[in-house]
Amino acid sequence: MAQPVAKDTSTIPYKYFSRVSLRPHKQPHGIFIYYDANGQIRRKEKWKDGKFFWLIKYDAHKRKLYGVNSRSDTSFFKACNCTN
């Protein structure tokens, strides 16, 4: 009998949902937090009743890289995590 092949999860991002609920018809609602395989935060998204509000991307050192709002405006962050 053949042994089952283990799935390599080292390149698959791990998703964690925080303060999230699925509304009727499975619409996302709340803040979605995504982590990589090492447990480092990589992205946060906010949704309300299936409508996208904002997204923040992080680098491997937990520093904010950039943010995008619902109008597709992009803000880039400096090393101090500020936008000024």
Residue type for 45, please?
A: E
CB-based burial of residue 58 (10 Å sphere; 0-12 exposed, 13-18 middle, 19+ buried)? Answer: buried
In this prediction, residue 11 has a pLDDT band, given cuts at 50, 70 and 90, of: very low
pLDDT over threshold 70, residue 2: no
- The Cα–Cα gap between 34 and 61 comes to 14
- The pLDDT assigned to 28 comes to 82
Asked if 44 and 33 count as a contact pair (C-beta separation under 8 A), the reply is yes
For residue 72, pLDDT beyond 60: yes
Q: Is the pLDDT of residue 42 over 70?
A: yes
> What are the structural domain ranges in the chain?
14-76
Q: Is the pLDDT of residue 80 over 50?
A: yes
Mean pLDDT of the chain: 75
